[in-house]
Copies of this chain bind each other. A is one copy, B any other.
Amino acid sequence: MTVSLLDRRHATLGRHSPLFYDEPVHLVAGEGVWLTDVSGRRYLDAYNNVPHVGHAHPRIVEALRSQAATLNIHTRYLNERVVDYAEALLARFEPGLDRVLLTNSGSEANDLALRIATQHTGSRGVLVTDCSYHGNTTLLAGMTTGLATHEPLGEHVRSFAVPDLDAPANRARRESDVLAEALASVDRAVGELAASEHGVAAVLVECLFSTEGLPRVPAGFVSGLAERVHAAGGLVIADEVQAGLGRTGARFWGYQRHGLAPDVVTLGKPLGNGHPLAGVVTTPELLEEFGSRNEYFNTFAGNPVSAAVGHEVLRVIDEEDLVANTVALGLRIRDELAPALAAHPRLGPLRGEGLFFGFEVFTDGSREQPDGPATKRLVEAVKARGVLLSRIGPTGSVLKIRPPLALREDDVPVLLEALAGAVDELDG
């Protein structure tokens, strides 16, 4: 059955459409944080950030059905739904970030944010980290450093390294030294761009540094980066596609952990709980400038069905107290996992925030050499124990644990036992 479906998939979507795991999981149903495969086996979903409030959430399904049965139309007619949602969404931001352009994907959002920045500054130069991914349009492919694209890095793009206090080379150093070195590297990248014909349009940065492997960055790094970009005349674009909407707990947006005041914020993945919904939040001045210069329109974006779904996601987050849940369960997992990690010679300390966390796997007991292949074996072993997760980082050596925020107290032992069993197997 699975083989035949895989053949049919190859014959329509092609052989390169990515699939997880040595033996792909054939899913047929989901509910809360649980997924069911075609054989009836249930998996704890400790990977997916898109079904933010849980798979097949009844309130989200009903918002979708009810609005689709009433009206689904573009925004060139007046309709309350999109305005209601825009108000509810913007209420989650600091004053100043008062306007939103809805889109259908994080890729569309980041591409649009860069159009705004490029037009505003009259410059083209963009700064990104050296292991990042912000989307799949032509523009974004030319600034992708975290996965393979055929396009070379654009001449107008400079990348910089994100300092990690837990990296082997930094463990014995003072935080202030790591910070100074990292900001010096940012200074070089900004300086190079500023001196080039391209100038500095923006830094595009995801403040949790997910693709980068959830590094523990020195305090002051992100704000120092932003200061330098601003000083060179560029805008700061916070990509909240992964870090946003309560994912990190406590703060609703990832950039707020760093005291950042971004000029533009981009939103994606969890915004519609799986419905294609994303957006760009910015200031009235930047939107006025962009809007007056471009006949910008997006056919699907902001339709009342997308808006009703997005609005219901915000309500469910509040009414089910999912941010508090993220903080509580995130801390509990940390408390239980940290001692086990500290005691294990091949595992690094816990990384990440809230319900987006992981740890690095090393080849030996001195924790010097990251071990991507062993991390892959760990991912497969955790899956064999009924829990789905993945791995990240430049060499794929960091476990990526990122369940829906609907994770419950009872699910935590399931996750921890699967991890413990898989780690035991790694040793064996």
Q: Taking beta carbons and an 8 Å cutoff, which residues of A are in contact with B?
A: 2, 5-6, 8-9, 11-20, 24-30, 35, 48, 50-51, 55-56, 58, 60-61, 64-65, 68-80, 82-83, 86-87, 90, 98-101, 104-108, 111-112, 114-115, 118-119, 136-139, 141, 147-151, 268-269, 273-276, 284, 287-288, 290-303, 305-306
In the complex, are the beta carbons of B149 and A295 less than 8 A apart? yes
B150 and A293 within 8 A (CB): yes
Q: DSSP class of A's interface residues: helix, strand, loop or mixed?
A: mixed
Chain B residues, CB < 8 A from A293: 148-150
Q: Flag if B299 contacts A50 (CB, 8 Å).
A: yes
CB-based contact A12/B83 at 8 Å:
yes
- In contact, B305 and A275 (Cβ under 8 angstroms): yes
| Given A16-B292, A137-B139, also A79-B48 (CB < 8 A) | no
Residues A298 and B82 in contact, CB atoms below 8 Å apart: no
Q: A99 vs B60: C-alpha distance in the bound complex, in angstroms? A: 32
Query: A106: which B residues are within 8 A, CB to CB?
Result: 299
CA A292 – CA B17 in complex, angstroms? 10
- The smallest beta-carbon distance between A40 and chain B, in angstroms, is 14
Cα distance A305–B305 when bound, in Å? 13
Determine the chain B residues whose CB is within 8 A of the CB of A118 once the complex forms.
Answer: 138
For residue A144, give the distance in angstroms from its CB to the closest CB of chain B.
9
Asked if A69 and B76 make an inter-chain contact with CB atoms under 8 angstroms apart, the answer reads: no
Contact partners of A50 in chain B: CB under 8 A: 73-74, 299-300
In this complex, what residue of B is CB-closest to A273? B72
Give the residue name and chain of the B residue nearest to A300 (CB): B276
Tell me if A14 and B288 are in contact (CB < 8 A).
yes
B78 touching A19, Cβ below 8 Å? yes
Assembly CA distance A302 to B9 (angstroms): 12
Is B19 within 8 A of A76, CB to CB? yes
**Docked CA distance A139–B135 (Å):** 14
Query: B141 touching A114 by the CB < 8 A rule?
Result: no
Q: Are B86 and A13 in contact (CB under 8 A)?
A: yes
A112 CB, min distance to chain B CBs, angstroms: 7
Contact A105 B137 (CB under 8 A): no
| Pairwise interchain contact A291-B27, C-beta atoms closer than 8 A | no
A-B residue pairs in contact (CB < 8 Å), sample of 6? A17-B297, A61-B68, A64-B64, A137-B138, A274-B305, A275-B305
Pair B77/A26 contact, Cβ less than 8 Å: yes
Contact B298 A136 (CB under 8 A): yes
Contact: B86 with A71, CB < 8 Å?
Answer: no
A30 to B304, CA, bound (A): 12
Question: Nearest CB to that of A299 among chain B residues?
Answer: B269
CB pair B79 A12 closer than 8 Å: no
**Beta-carbon contact of A12 and B90 below 8 Å:** yes
Q: A73 to B274, Cβ gap below 8 A? A: yes
Q: Give the residues in chain B near A90, CB-CB below 8 Å.
A: 12
* Cross-interface CB contact of A298 among B98, B105, B149, cutoff 8 Å: B105
Residues of B within 8 A of A291 (CB): 14-17
Asked whether, in the complex, the Cβ of A104 is within 8 Å of the Cβ of B100, the reply is no
